[in-house]
Structure 1
Amino acid sequence: MSGNETHGPAGTLPARGRGALAESTGATWRPVDEGGPAEEDDATRDWDNEGGHERGHERGHVAHHPRATDHDPARPPDPEALRVTGVLASALPPELGTPHEPVTYTVPAVFSRQVTREEQDAIEGDAVRHRLADAGFEDVELTVSDRRLLIEHTSLAALKGGLAHEVADVLRDLGRDLVAEHDRLAAEIAELQKEEDRRAAVVLVEAEQIRFE
């Protein structure tokens, strides 16, 4: 679901822009630098969710520059891990920064890569909704739309106030849990295969011992 829900006073955006913020794995948010276009990472450069490729800054996508202390330099982040690279500012409600600015609305963000079906089911599941509510972000819902994450019933102020960090943690935990589940299933399948190989070997030995003489 997208669109505006409730209207209230303005004030969630700085005067110089429409509050384009960036979010990643628990790092700080940074506003758009008016001196030049925001940089994008390799995974999202030139991506257009509408079916083409174009520069992200032309679509209003704001990239995030993580602090050096966010990651252990000896263990770089997994480039395949699903994360959010920033807010798609061009798709924010046009009323932001005006007296008619809504109190809550849908904030579209950009994923670092295409989302798998398993990941989408987990992101849109009740467990994530309850986790966000327990963290103080009631009514917030996450919806996957192609390469976009639609953060519904929220605001840029709420994201800056902690929701962005919570979403990053959610994605990180979901990724970890899915990897663990895949590893468990792989180990289970490998053990079943060993049992099958042993069974087949026993049957083969017994079969070879038969002589029609």
Structure 2
Amino acid sequence: MTLYNFAKGMFRLQFKIMGWKVQGVENLPLEGPVILAINHISMWDPVVAACSIPRPVCYMAKEELFSFPVLRWLLLKLGSFPVKRGQGDMNAIRQSLSILKEGQVLGLFPEGTRSKTGRIQKGMPGMVLLMEKSKAVVVPISVFGTKHMFTKGWGNISVVIGQPLSAEMLKAPDGIDNRREWIADRIMQAVLDLQLPKAQ
């Protein structure tokens, strides 16, 4: 058993005890390259999202997290890799495309940082570049209840997985000045449109 599978199993058990709910698992393609576009409200979002789908996820994570040796070792073991925020990080882009070329799942937080208010922020157009270069579909995911998860999250942790979006479905109309920004806005709207599970 790999460290990834072991950690995933342990966290899934903990989240189930906490009343975690997942809706839309059937929307995730079971093979081929996939980009997850996930909202970001807590440091626990990548863990909760990864536990909610049946495929392993490789996350692009901020470079600062890799400054700590033990955390760096753990993140690399779990398939994450660093990205320099606020600039075009070609190494991160190349690594992302390599992951997608291998038919794997790439997890992104297109807002670039956690939302302090919980509201969806603008998405970075870099995810559109990755979608176009890799021919991957983008699956919007909305995570709820992860802020202050271990104090206020009991019974409130939910993940909603949306329908896959292809490049053909997200073509910008003629006359749009910044095509990738327009597409990124459509993807973030798809994340925003996801609702809590009906049972909640």
**TM-score scaled by length of structure 2:** 0.26
Q: Which has the higher helix share?
A: 2
Larger Rg: 1
**TM-score scaled by length of structure 1:** 0.25
